[in-house]
Amino acid sequence: MPRPTDLTSFAAYARALAGLTSERIETMRALAAEVEPYLEGVTDRFYARLESVPETRAWIDGRVESLRKPHRDWLTMLFRTDFGAGYAQTLMRIGDAHAKAGLPVDFLIAGMTVVQEALQPVVLAGARAKPFAEAARLASVNAALGCSLVMLQRAYATRAATPSPPRAA
């Protein structure tokens, strides 16, 4: 079945693939106030990892200060959005910025595991010794990031399907 092209259906498709249920979206939103003071630290860890790997460092050298704010804004949004059409549109635009700059899609895929790793201690802190709450929080973050990745990488598929204009001889 082809991927849906309207934003509402595409957002529903991304949520379904990643197992991002309404209950998990509620879990994310219920965590927003608790995690926000720590999102600056999550951003620090994200860029520290990108700077420690030569392949990614080459792309962000001298730009980390300007990239931090949009990245931090996205993290804030992650805990406040409904993962609907508006979010899909924003994430597709962010994905397109990466595709346009020529970043390999591999960076986004691996980058999500870095975000996952940095968010885990933050979401677990308020659920210590409550195994069901811990599991629910981890599953929600995992699904939210998976859904976001489907939306982000969409721009790559769209660009690949669009033939480049002919080059001048």
- The yes or no reply on residue 62 touching ligand HEM (CB under 6 A) is no
Q: Which range of residues in 15-23, 31-39, 111-119, 153-161 is near ligand HEM by CB under 6 A?
A: 111-119
**Residue whose C-alpha is closest to residue 11's, from 87, 103, 62:** 87
Considering the rule CB under 6 A, would residue 119 count as an interface residue with ligand HEM? no
User: Residue 91 in contact with residue 112, Cβ under 8 Å?
Assistant: no
d(CA 145, CA 110): 12
Q: CA 8 → CA 22, 75, 84, distances in Å? A: 15, 22, 6
Question: With contacts defined by CB under 6 A, how many residues of the chain interact with ligand HEM?
Answer: 18
- The greatest distance separating any two alpha carbons of the chain, rounded to the nearest whole angstrom, comes to 67
Q: Does 140 contact ligand HEM by CB under 6 A?
A: no
Residue 156 in the binding site for ligand HEM (CB under 6 A): no
The span from the CA of 111 to the CA of 113, in Å, is 5
Q: Among 27, 56, 81, 142, which residue interacts with ligand HEM (rule: CB under 6 A)?
A: 56
Q: Does 83 bind ligand HEM (CB under 6 A)?
A: no
Under the rule (CB under 6 A), what is the footprint of ligand HEM?
50, 56, 59-60, 67, 70-71, 74, 94, 97-98, 101, 103, 107-108, 111-112, 115
